[in-house]
Structure 1
Amino acid sequence: MRGRGRGGARGGRKNAFAPARIEDPADARGEYPSEPEISSDSSDASSAEDEEEALPTSKAYHSLLQSLANRHTANTAKGEPRRKRRKLDHSPFPDVESEIEVDAEEESDSGEELDLEPADVGEQEEPVSDVESVHDEEEQQRELNDAFEAHFERPDENELAMRLKAISENQWTTKKLEAAGGRCLLQVPSADEKALSRRRLKSPRDVRLKPRLVEKAQKALGVFNAVEQSIAPSLFEYQDVLFGARTPKNAGRLRDMASLHALNHILKTRDRVLKNNSKLAAASDDVDAEYRDQGFTRPKILFLLETKQACVRVVDSITRLHDFEQQENKKRFLDSFSLPEDKFSDDKPDDFRELFEGNDENEFRVGVKLTRKTLKLYSTFYNSDIILASALGLRRAIESNEKKKDYDFLSSIEMVIMEQADATLMQNWEHAEFVFEHLNLQPKETHGCDFSRVRNWYLDGHAPYVRQTIIFSAFLTPKINTLYNKHMRNVTGRLKYTADYTSGIIESLAYGIKQTFSRFDSPSHLTDPDSRFKYFSSTVLPQITRFPKPPQGGIGVLVYVPSYLDFVRVRNSLVDSDLSYASISEYTDLTDVRKARSHFMSGRHSLLLYTGRAHHFHRYHIRGVKRVVFYGVPENPRFYDEVVGFIGKTVERGEVSRAEGSVRVCFSKWERLELERIVGSKRVGKMVGDRGDVFDFI
């Protein structure tokens, strides 16, 4: 529905984390063509420190490194100064880049004498003192208590098997938690009460972060508020989180918390692989060490975002939480993804401005690669740590090759962050479902993967149950709940936070207009559209035709239809009626929109059909509305308030009295969630289950 973007990357490569050969000239420029290519064996023209290439991992290579380490130690003992070294872009393992330095005096000869000095690891070959051994033991003990270690690195196999069995049988232990401003449910696939206990996190200092992130995180987030404390333990302990109370006011802090967690995960993964690389390099030939610390492919984090401007905000959050000496392709990224965020007037609501201000194009995808000192944008998918994409953009990337779909780059995703699920509902929810269906599948090609380093639960096909899924939404719907039940099945547990709807929004409406809620019989949610149309055609529409027409102007009836399919059905039924009507949908041309609004306001058309998605994308202020009929209950409660407000403004202008204005809402028992947000949880049970079928509010 929104603008169409071009870009993406797909394909394979010989080494799981080596740069892919760029087949298309657009890839060399850091751009994504309309039919993305991620080819086998590509190379990048970046700095040497930021690129990795695979080197043999044989024991002969380890022996060479050991001899070089001995040579370095001997030179240091003699007091010889360190020789000049330059950095090469080789890494003994594909998951990270290490710094390999060559003696400048000898690189012109054979180049055989190397010093291994992995980034952020230091001189691993120095003798270890007793004090250092104690520190190492303390660090190992801290790591054992770390959620990253327990969830990804060293999961208890017996407990994992038990929880997987409980998930397969859909057996969850549920606990209601105290939560500020809402309702919080924690579920774990275990009968063990200890699994339901949580640490209390008051600020980023209470989170087990990498030291280099603590100060920045504390400065950006400070103390967690009451709502954030409700979700922080689950968020940072790798449980699935469905947060159904996102607002424009809390969106920035939620984004920072998720970005901090993603950064922390990448740094811990990277440091662990570097540490194991160093151990393998120092191991003797007769030591058969095994370190399983990787996935099939490099990408670990997937952000599912709605607009390019939202993508810019995530990148800004990442760069505020971590210092990077370089940010490659940043200008190109901002030129393509960012626009000034002041294109709407203040009369537009804050949620609309947050979503659509700036660049609101919704087809995009971009890879982000993190090295020790550099953040690189427009990296190819197979050479990225983070993928930022819209659901539509990612689906286009996967399906760009009709003969051979490539989704192997999603095989090792360990964290999914979906920032605005409610906005995705207004696009095409099938795109989101498509992406989740293609997450953590066994790859069709090896892509140069070193299977001796792949974690066992990847090989066993359990990655979907270890992956953490984080979803933020303004409200929850049956479709979002279905995704929660189907794809958020984390072995550690899952948390669902719902806003408090005790009173609903109807008590805060000050229009003084009669609002009538009419329930119709609907035996099944599958046949609900047919039952709804039958009720509207046989009961509601005849009442509309009987409204007295004033001497000047029309009867001013606006029919709000949430679904486009229902809109088409109702519009077709009006063709042979005596009512003069106009219609505005998300597909209506702007010229036709102006004509429809003008004729409705003047009374030339008595009835105006108006879709929920048209209101979502444009938030029109429609004049001449005297009566409103809701064909279905809006999923977004703000829409109910704004559409009823059309009558309120008509009353203020003196075009109709409050007694003449009216609201009619058609609902069935299958719309409990939508109805609760409007009338409140203390009323919704009676309205859905009582014998009466008409409920009036003023």
Structure 2
Amino acid sequence: MKRPSSLSLDPGVSSKPKFESLEFIDGDDPFQTHYSHRSSTSSKSTCLLSSRELALSNVSTPLIKPQIHKKLLHTDSSSSYLDLLGNYLDVFFTLSSSYFEEYQNAYILHILNHLYKTKTQITKNDQLPDPVKDQGFSPTKILVLFPYKKNAKVFIEKLVEIHCKGKKKKMTKSSRRKFTEVFEEAEDAEVSDAFKLGVVLGDKRELQLFTPFKASDMIIASPMSLRQAILNESEDENAKENLGILCSIEMVVMENSEVFLMQNWDHIETIFKAMNRIPDRDSMTADINRIRDPFIEEKSKEYRQLIIFSEFISPLLLSLFNRNENYKGKAKTIDHYPGVNQYDVVQKYRKFRASSQLSAADERFEYFTQNLWPNIKEDLYPKSILFVASYFEYIRVKAYLEENDPGVLCISEYTQKSDKQRSIANWKNGKNKAICVTERFLYFRPQKFDDIGHLVFYSLPEFNNFYEEFARESKEVISVYCKFDGYSLQRIVGDKKAGQLLK
């Protein structure tokens, strides 16, 4: 997989120039022209959207102010974020939790607006004498991915608030009962990532949950559970990939996407590979004469909108975003960071040459094993920590340490609980000079490490709080990086210093 380069990242990374505000003008509703008009542009620009800097690429501006369906006239739809989403661009929003409600309201209104318009259009076309191509293979148009049940629960409650106008009785009895069982009464209701359900919006504001996927308007799921459904994971070894579930998706929303980085990213890749492909005949519920040409030609992914919400930009998320083929173009927020390393600790940054994104992992390992570790291991302070961001890097580093430096303990998210406890106790008692840990282990099993000797970052963390918390307790910090680590570096040292280190 290609990993996008970093800090050529965004324009204006070391300063904050003033940009013009993004304008939305009156014109043909983007929903009506989405499948009938294709623009070809390769322009790039930077603008302001509600005081946030926004980088646009392959977007024809000015953008059109989308029309709001009559079913949403009771809501506050005067949002520039809703206007942006309503132009069907791919959007990557970085934000903190304190600002998330405004963004969430905008994207939920956008989802409902799209579904209401689609249903109205199909109903009108039903009355015409000749069939009109206005559908996909199935009615399932929206996919919303959440890392945990608690995130999905909030989303569903917002659907009830807006679509049902707050009337829970508009949910079917079976939906209310199952919702309570799964999202409120279950022991794992807060942190479980085992959930998936279909949703149907009724014409009279009814709401059905846990409907069959192929008969649903929308799918709400965790990546893990949806992957299991796609791959038909069961005892039947001959079960085929279920392409009918996601064959007609027109919009994907990923909420709290930074958490997906700490889960199994392969689930995300599997989902996107299975999306917008031609299914078997049993999965085609629409009249074949009304299926749009892009679906038949397996080009519907070019019309699929991707909306990502994350606390920060990461190479994996950005790669997924850039690979989405939406012809309408892309918009992503530009962030500025002051840095977190403003305290009295010796901090050293060691840059290695990476010839390409694909070879960076091998070159990092070569630099660590041949240049860095052999020169520092004898001089490590007691109670040192070696931090490794990914599990795949950890496997490689662990094998090297076991062969060349067995005094270093190694623990990851997959280490047995008893082994973890013993290793941490030995490290705290000074029986072993260093311990190697992964970011995912620290994310899911937070640990208190104090009085740290050397803190060595084999790779920089995605979550900059790990750098801040650990560095503050350390005598000396050594960080290994290359030109492709710009986003992580920027969050740790700030815009200006990152630009200097990456030169």
Q: TM-score range by the shorter chain?
A: 0.7 to 0.9
Distance (whole Å) between structure 2 residues aligned to residue 210 and residue 320 of structure 1:
17
SS of the residue corresponding to residue 546 of structure 1 reads: helix
Matches within 5 A, 1:69-84: none
407-416 or 395-404: which moved more?
395-404
Higher mean Cα deviation, 382-391 or 404-413?
404-413
Find out whether 1:337 has 2:172 as its counterpart: no
- 2:419 aligns with 592
Q: Which amino acid aligns with 1:478?
A: P
Partner of 1:468: 305
Determine which of 450, 453, 461 is the counterpart of 1:626: 453
User: Who is 2:288 aligned against?
Assistant: 451
**Aligned counterpart for 2:228 among listed residues 380, 396, 405:** 396
Distance 1:339 1:512, change over 3 A: farther
| Change beyond 3 A, Cα 1:539–1:491 | closer
The one of the two structures with greater contact order (alpha-carbon pairs below 8 A, sep at least 6) is 2
CA contact (8 A) 1:602 1:624 kept: no
Matched, 1:213 2:87: no
**1:684 equivalenced with 2:498 (yes/no):** yes
Name which of 121, 125, 143 aligns with 1:276.
125
Structure 2 stretches lacking a partner, 5+ long: 1-25
- Alpha carbons 1:545, 1:579 under 8 Å: kept: no
1:645 and 2:472 matched? yes
3-state secondary structure, aligned to 1:575 = helix
What amino acid is the match of 2:56?
Answer: L
Residues of 2 paired with 1:147 and 1:238: CA distance? Answer: 7
Give, in whole Å, the separation in 1 of the partners of 2:245 and 2:131. 25
Cα distance, 1:575–1:469 mapped onto 2, change above 3 Å: closer
Counterpart Cα distance in 2 of 1:621 and 1:183:
37
Aligned position for 1:196: 61
TM-superposed CA distance for 1:427, in Å, is 1.6
> Could you tell me how far apart the structure 2 residues matched to 1:408 and 1:176 are?
39
Q: How far apart in 1 are the matches of 2:380 and 2:464?
A: 30
Instruction: After TM superposition, give the deviation of residue 199 of structure 1 in Å.
Output: 5.3
Cα deviation for residue 367 of structure 1 reads: 0.7
Q: How many residues align?
A: 468
Residues 364 and 575 (structure 1), Cα distance of their counterparts in 2 relative to 1, 3 Å cut:
same
Structure-1 residue corresponding to 2:45:
175
Residues of 2 paired with 1:448 and 1:209: CA distance? 28
Q: Partners of 2:292 and 2:254 in 1: how far apart?
A: 25
Pick closer, same or farther for the CA change 1:196–1:580 going to 2, 3 Å: same
Measured against aligned partners, the alpha-carbon deviations of 1:278-297 in whole angstroms (never above 9, x if no partner) come to x34xxxxxxx4343332210
Change in CA separation of 1:456 and 1:540 when aligned onto 2, cut-off 3 Å: closer
Alignment partner, residue 307 of structure 1: 148
| Of 242, 261, 267, the match for 2:92 | 242
Instruction: Report what 1:479 is aligned to.
Output: 316
**Are the structure 2 counterparts of residues 239 and 548 from structure 1 closer, same or farther at C-alpha, using a change threshold of 3 Å?**
closer
Q: Which amino acid aligns with 1:316?
A: E
Quote the Cα distance in structure 2 between the aligned partners of 1:322 and 1:611.
43
1:180 is displaced (CA, Å) by: 5.9
| CA RMSD across the alignment | 2.7
Counterpart residue identity of residue 202, structure 2: T
Matched letter for residue 185 of structure 1: A
- Counterpart of 2:120, as a letter, is D
Matches within 5 A, 1:108-507: 145-152=28-35, 155-156=36-37, 160=38, 163=39, 166=40, 172-179=42-49, 183-188=53-58, 195-198=60-63, 208-215=67-74, 217-218=75-76, 224=79, 229=80, 231-243=81-93, 245-277=94-126, 279-280=127-128, 288-323=129-164, 325-328=169-172, 329-338=175-184, 358-372=189-203, 373-400=205-232, 402-445=238-281, 447-487=284-324, 489-501=325-337, 503-506=338-341
Quickly say closer, same or farther: Cα 1:261–1:515, change in 2 above 3 A.
same
Residues in 1 aligned to 2:231 and 2:473: alpha-carbon distance in whole angstroms: 43
TM-score (norm 2): 0.85
**Offset, 1:403:** 3.3
1:476 is displaced (CA, Å) by: 1.6
% of aligned pairs identical? 28
Q: Structure 2: which amino acid aligns with 1:670?
A: F
The Cα shift of 1:448 comes to 4.2
- Tell me the distance in 1 between the aligned counterparts of 2:494 and 2:185: 39
State the alpha-carbon separation in 2 of the partners of residues 615 and 483 from structure 1.
25
Whole-angstrom CA distance in 2 between matches of 1:582 and 1:358: 35
TM-score, normalised on structure 1?
A: 0.63
In structure 1, distance between residues paired with 2:400 and 2:380:
22
Query: 2 CA distance for matches of 1:640 and 1:541?
Result: 20
AA in 2 matched with 1:209 = I
For 2:33, give the aligned amino acid. A
Q: 1:515 to 1:180 in 2, by over 3 A?
A: farther
Kept in 2: contact 1:300–1:385 (CA 8 A) = yes
Instruction: Report the alpha carbon displacement of residue 559 of structure 1 after superposing the two structures with TM.
Output: 0.7
Distance 1:145 1:578, change over 3 A: closer
Tell me the distance in 2 between the aligned counterparts of 1:548 and 1:525.
31
Pick closer, same or farther for the CA change 1:375–1:634 going to 2, 3 Å: same
Can you list the C-alpha shifts for 1:456-498, whole angstroms capped at 9, x where unaligned? Answer: 44334432111211111222222222222221x3232221213
Shift of 1:238: 1.6
1:240, 1:494 within 8 Å by CA — same for their partners in 2?
Answer: yes
Q: Call closer, same or farther: CA 1:389–1:578 in 2, change over 3 Å.
A: closer
| Rounded Cα–Cα distance in structure 1 between residues aligned with 2:280 and 2:218 | 21
Q: Which amino acid counterpart does residue 130 of structure 2 have in structure 1?
A: A
How much has 1:543 moved relative to structure 2? 4.3
Mapped contact 1:339–1:359 kept (Cα < 8 A) = no
- Checking the alignment, whether the CA contact within 8 Å between 2:450 and 2:473 is kept in structure 1 is yes
Displacement after TM superposition at 1:630 (Å): 0.6
Amino acid at match of 1:432: I
The structure-2 alpha-carbon separation of the partners of 1:197 and 1:579, relative to structure 1 and needing over 3 Å to count, comes to: same
> What does the per-residue CA deviation read over 1:576-603, in whole Å, with 9 as the maximum and x for residues that have no partner?
5566332221112222222222221121
1:306-352 superposed Cα distances (whole Å, 9 cap, x missing partner): 112221111011111122542122232232234699xxxxxxxxxxx
SS at match of 1:517: strand
Matched to 1:388, the amino acid is I
Check whether the contact 2:232–2:239 (CA below 8 A) recurs between aligned residues: no
Task: Tell me the amino acid that sits aligned with residue 600 of structure 1.
Answer: W
